[in-house]
Amino acid sequence: MGNLPLLNNYLSVGAILFALGLIGFLSRRNLIVMFLCAELMLQGVSLTFVGFSTFHGSWGGQVFTIFSLALAGAEAAVALALIVVLFRRNETLDISLWQDLREADQPPVLDEFEAAVADVEPVYPELTRSGLLPGQGREPGHHHRTIDEAIDEQRHEPVEVPHA
Amino acid sequence: MGEFELTLSTLIVVVLGGFGVYLLLPRGTNPSDRIARIVGCVLTTISLVLIASNFGDVLPNKTNELTFYILAAVSIVSAVLMIASHNPVISALWFALVLLSNSGLYLLQGAEFLSAATIIIYAGAIIVTFLFVIMLAQPNGAAPYDLHSREPLLSCTAGVILAWTLLGTLHYACNEEAKPLNQRPAGASSAALPSPSLVAKSLAGHPESVIREGKAHVDSLGRTLFLEHYVAIEVVGMLLLVAVVGAVLIVNRDPAKLTAA
């Protein structure tokens, strides 16, 4: 049986690492930093396991830590793949842009920084042009110019085509 | 020291550290930021020293004790700087330092294989993969959203409550455990650590799980892994394979492209 104050020391360090990981996970916005903080919490738990393993003279804690190493590898592979996919979609790693994933009846959380970001005019995608020119009502017996015709005319003579 | 004073002193130390971390978290680039960071550094250091003063004289020889204090301090300070730094690349490097000092702590406990495995797998493979993804996604360093943390006060409060619960329970349990049996209040032994006889009984059924002094370390760890946990080893191997295949499929949304090439 091991040394109790020694176990206390290792468990204290593990607990502090876990709490720091929690603070980072809750407060940082960057997806990658949040994931690093989750790994920090895992490190705190590993330290606790090894401390108990030494205290009880059993391999159990070290075996558990070896399995958690393998799990951390698998987790990193899947999480980094997901981060790459999310980054391709939004071109940013900011977690607060994924508030669409909240529950349907919850209001979005907007603090000062997010409100400033939300004020910026969004860039809308360029859509394929089709259908009638805007501003023309449908009247019977009148030939309505479509967008395609307007573009054809523009090819022959440079006419200003009104955009939507 | 009474229970109340013990709990209160732990709370004060943890609140001090938590407030220091709150001041260190990134909050924009205003000029008062630098002063707040310096005050945060001072508060966190004081809190760490106070926690370390509770540790006391534990290890059989002084060199080991000094090594423990240095490694633990490096580990915790790098963890604080990791959650406080603006640039994610620097965060990842501080995390690598946390891993290195943690593997030193494993070595100090006699977990040699684990110490090597942590350096090779975590610091060697996982951190490098992180750095690749950071370089891919954010090659220009800190982005605006890295400079503003999200609800720093609330998250520090949550962290302080968690740390207070864990450290307070630990100090209480160790205080109780150090007393002779007849001085403990009724029911207190269940709050403290499991009794040695219980652990010895549970280990008796698994002879490979007992750490024996003098036997080769990796030899007996391997015996434990492959004699008592062989099903789990197979399952973890399968899990790693599935995770790798899943990661490839998540990134390449069109599987037909993979087979065409």
Q: Which residues of A touch B76 (CB under 8 A)?
A: 13, 16-17, 20
pLDDT-derived band at B134 (thresholds 50, 70, 90) equals: confident
Q: Is the pLDDT of residue B189 over 70?
A: no
Question: CB A73 to CB B126 under 8 A?
Answer: yes
Q: Which residues of B touch A23 (CB under 8 A)?
A: 18, 21, 25, 83, 155-156, 158-159
Tell me which of A65 and B36 has the higher pLDDT. Answer: A65
Residues A5-52 pLDDT 10s: 788 889 999 999 999 999 999 999 889 999 999 999 999 999 999 999
Optimal mutation site among B102, B224, B227, interface A, most CBs of chain A within 10 A: B102
A 10 A CB-CB count for A55 gives 22
Kindly report the nearest CA distance between residue A123 and chain B, in angstroms: 18
Q: Are residues B101 and B109 in contact, defined by beta-carbon separation less than 8 angstroms?
A: no
- What are the residue ranges of helices labelled H in B60-126? 62-84, 88-108, 112-117
Q: Is A118 on the interface with B (CB under 8 A)?
A: no
Residues forming beta bridges with residue A63, ordered by sequence position: none
Tell me which of A94 and B97 has the higher pLDDT. Answer: B97
Q: Which of A152-161, B81-90, B152-161 has the lowest mean pLDDT?
A: A152-161
Question: CB B150 to CB A28 under 8 A?
Answer: yes
pLDDT-derived band at B261 (thresholds 50, 70, 90) equals: low
Report helix, strand or coil for A94. Answer: strand
pLDDT-derived band at B58 (thresholds 50, 70, 90) equals: low
Residues A74-127 pLDDT 10s: 999 999 999 988 888 878 888 888 888 888 888 877 776 776 666 666 677 777
pTM score:
0.81
Return the percentage of chain A with pLDDT > 70, whole number: 73
Q: Is the pLDDT of residue B252 over 90?
A: no
3-state helix, strand, coil in chain B (%, to 5): 80, 0, 20
Q: Which residues of B touch A30 (CB under 8 A)?
A: 88, 143, 145-146
Q: Tell me B205's DSSP state.
A: T
Residues forming beta bridges with residue B210, ordered by sequence position: A58
Mean pLDDT throughout A121-143? 68
